[in-house]
A and B are shown apart, each in its own frame.
Chain A
């Protein structure tokens, strides 16, 4: 039995995949999660997972085109080598999930079925109904349960990550708190993998789960880990507005044939089915004849926002547009999209098989995240190639090791040696905008491909000579003390007097979300971002005087939330400052005062470093774009002439 151990923080797809891979290599894993891992936020992913497949391949698609689409979709902000390796490995990841028993939808012959998704003209998205994330999460959860029953993996569920422990310039463990008993203690580890997802709660209401505060990432950032491209926040075009959250309506609704429209006549109050076809404005199909409703998310979101907010053309004069599936066969819809149709039915009370859904954009995903490094693979063209012509022969095959060097210990390691970031919490793959159905892929790719890097680091790197098990207790005790002091400070604030909204952590968190949504989402301007930063400074002051409503020493959820608010404020500041610093428009980041992309100045990674006061200092670091040369990202947009167009052009057909 090895005396080494690895800690994985987060039990979503990335964390479970990492835990399974590391445990399989013979290293014991301690897996920490705020919730039973089966309830992690990956469960919310709906549409599917992208990979080149044999049907698409015979139509001219390739792993290389998937790579090219991802780079173009991300508006040339991602370092290109890791993306190449991910696209190349994607078909093998689908095979692995298939072996684990994921019930992927099947064709009549029993092959894995495919659907169309944003940013591609080929069907290359594998899916399990419209709850693909749930099904993938469960498959990995089952494999980890097996590892648990074999004694290779130990789960710490309802434990909250508080801070990384460092010694001798590397990460040697974590301090965490049991959110039932409230015990705070240190755990030793020879490597720590952060797989803690996104930060939707910074924006108050989003499509994210209640646990996606970004606090774990923010704590690493405040402990010295760099945070890259914080300003790159994806706003998903189609969500159902709600009082507690904004519920996602998957891009697969459009991939399967859903059409987005508003009445051509402003203020038209007729029910949707009384509005004849010529009097409906299918604005995405009109403006983007090639991609139509499946343009990438940032583009669809801006168009919907423009139609509703700038032109006042929203349905019933409100901020909402129709997402219409009612022209399609109801049984087909149930088979392909049942999961999301049920969500709409349950929360809105109307059946989208027969009535167009009313939707509006919502904060959905963070492309930015903890800064990570990698070792380049073997592919090195003499000069970057021009954009790949869709369906053309790829310049290289898909053998492993061309994008990233397999097993290199620093793959997806942060600047803190021994501390890794996998999945949504890193910044590595999606540039300035993530393509639909690439998130599940990047999570599992990190876990499986970079999991091997963790194993190699533990065996061959610094921990090989000095295992964490043998280190002095001092550094651990010190962090435990620091965290216990923070808790004591928060609990001592509990007052039985009258509540004051100014110091109520729930109110501060809500106001922070409203401010971030107003200033830092679809449309941004310099002056508004400066105002936002001033408000964040106010929030910080109010937070310093926060008063809790509960000092219980058992299962104190008010404490957990209040603590996270402070971390969300730190992250919000980096997001707003990143957005202010990036004086251009690229992908999800759109500045009305700088509407063009500026490659000369900003085809660079924003890197935020946290200072002692909790503020960020930013630098722009060069990216490696040595594989594909940047081109304008237009998706074939036609100039807006309100002109009528023929029936929408079907994208290239695949199976079924």
Chain B
């Protein structure tokens, strides 16, 4: 049998100092398009603390390190167990969910600093809270659903081999968090919804297209999805930086999805050309 440390998924941690305080440097803004400013908070760290518990502490004690009374920091959160995608932000320069960001790992020593910034590829609502409605808009545009006949009792769905289920399941764990888009050099901040359909869609949507194309009933809408992904802002805008797959918290094989959609779009374009 193996010991815990042999199997720990993380690099060995520097032992965290109990009873310490940590400095949070937070990039804040009062509203969309407003000026951003840094504020610092000194937060006492109990055992098991994560970024969420520290933001909760700040909400109850909104005083900066210089003794200035301020407002609680606004941020988006939900499940706190890295399955809803809400609390995504940029922590020490890297995009991730803040709930699974443990302070012992990031700031083990007294006075260590953690910086929090909102994602830069989405408009700020307030402080660390951003507007990701573009991602949901894109899911509509690529028809990310199975076109069933309705919710009435019409018997079982298509049978499926376990290997296919395993492929679909991983793709289907995408929580629309936006990490892959934050890390992508081709995906740009877009404030104007008018441009949503011509700016690069990014890895998440391409992977969802692959998911629904892989389902026996979902496949019926494959031509519509490929049409949406072959023009401006489609799969050809991918610059192949492969940052997306490295930051995906669900380990979704995003580059495989992009390649699969790229091939499908090429075949679809040829078929359309020869059909005339």
Contact = CB atoms under 8 A, between A and B. Distances in A.
B59 interface: yes
A43 B82 CA distance: 10
A651 interface: no
B13 A100 contact: no
Contacts of A273: 1, 3
Interface in B87-122: 99-100, 102
B157 A243 contact: no
Given A99-B217, A180-B125, A448-B151, A36 B160 contact: no
Contacts of A507: 60
B126 interface: yes
Interface in B65-97: 69, 71-72, 74, 76-86
Contact of A99 (B139, B157, B165, B176): B157
Interface stretch (A56-64, A340-348, A638-646): A340-348
B61 A499 contact: yes
Interface stretch (A138-146, A188-196, A467-475, A613-621): A138-146
A550 B79 contact: no
**How would you classify the secondary structure of chain B's contact residues: helix, strand, loop or mixed?**
loop
B79 A271 contact: no
Contact of A555 (B47, B125, B156): B125
Given A98-B156, A346-B100, A354 B1 contact: yes
A326 interface: yes
A129 to B, nearest CB: 6
Interface residues of A, number: 83
Interface in A213-266: 241-245, 247-248
A181 to B, nearest CB: 10
Contacts of B169: 103, 105, 128-129, 135
Interface in A77-129: 92, 94-96, 98-101, 103-108, 110-111, 128-129
A170 interface: no
A594 interface: no
A172 B134 CA distance: 33
Contacts of B156: 94-95, 98-99
B157 A98 contact: yes
A148 B140 contact: yes
Contacts of B69: 496, 499, 549
A378 interface: no
Interface string A534-569: 000000000000000110101101100100000000
A211 B99 CA distance: 15
Contacts of B86: 35-36, 39
B48 A242 contact: yes
Contact of B161 (A106, A139, A148, A499): A106
B19 interface: no
A326 B1 contact: yes
A155 to B, nearest CB: 9
Interface string B4-31: 1011111001000000000000000011
Contacts of A242: 48, 50, 53, 80
B196 interface: no
A134 B100 CA distance: 18
Interface stretch (B141-149, B186-194, B252-260, B263-271): B141-149
Contacts of A94: 156
B42 interface: no
A38 B8 contact: no
B10 A349 contact: yes
A36 B13 CA distance: 36
A554 B126 contact: yes
A209 interface: yes
A187 interface: no
Interface in B141-199: 143-148, 150-151, 153-157, 159-162, 165-166, 168-169, 172-173, 175-176
Nearest to A138: B172
B4 A350 contact: yes
Contact of A110 (B52, B79, B162): B162
B136 A105 contact: no
Contacts of B82: 343, 346
Contact of B53 (A111, A244, A550): A244
A100 B157 contact: yes
A475 B158 CA distance: 50
Interface centre among A106, A107, A339 (most CB of B within 10 A): A106
A171 B136 CA distance: 31
Nearest to A146: B145
A35 B76 CA distance: 9
Contacts of B157: 95, 98-101
Contacts of A410: none
B4 A110 contact: no
A635 interface: no
Contacts of A38: 84-85, 136, 175-176
B144 A145 contact: yes
A142 B7 contact: no
B248 to A, nearest CB: 13
Interface centre among B47, B49, B77 (most CB of A within 10 A): B77
B200 interface: no
Given A107-B162, A349-B8, A549-B72, A96 B153 contact: yes
B49 A243 contact: yes
Contacts of B6: 354
Given A43-B84, A135-B172, A241-B48, A106 B30 contact: no
A284 interface: no
A347 B102 contact: yes
A131 to B, nearest CB: 6
Interface string A322-354: 000010000000010001000101110111011
B223 interface: no
A17 to B, nearest CB: 8
A484 B235 CA distance: 48
Nearest to A326: B1
B71 A549 contact: yes
Given A134-B83, A143-B151, A343-B81, 18 more contacts: A36-B86, A38-B85, A43-B175, A95-B154, A99-B157, A104-B165, A105-B165, A106-B162, A138-B172, A145-B145, A244-B53, A245-B80, A271-B4, A273-B1, A343-B82, A345-B9, A349-B102, A510-B60
Interface of A: 17, 20-21, 24, 35-36, 38-41, 43-44, 92, 94-96, 98-101, 103-108, 110-111, 128-129, 131, 134-135, 138-139, 142-143, 145-146, 148-149, 157, 180, 209-211, 241-245, 247-248, 271, 273, 326, 335, 339, 343, 345-347, 349-351, 353-355, 448, 496, 499, 504, 506-507, 510, 549-550, 552, 554-555, 557-558, 561
19 contacts: A36-B132, A36-B133, A43-B78, A44-B81, A94-B156, A95-B155, A99-B156, A99-B157, A101-B146, A134-B83, A145-B145, A149-B140, A210-B79, A245-B81, A273-B1, A345-B9, A351-B8, A496-B69, A499-B69
Closest 6 CB pairs of A and B: A506-B60, A98-B157, A142-B145, A351-B7, A244-B53, A555-B126
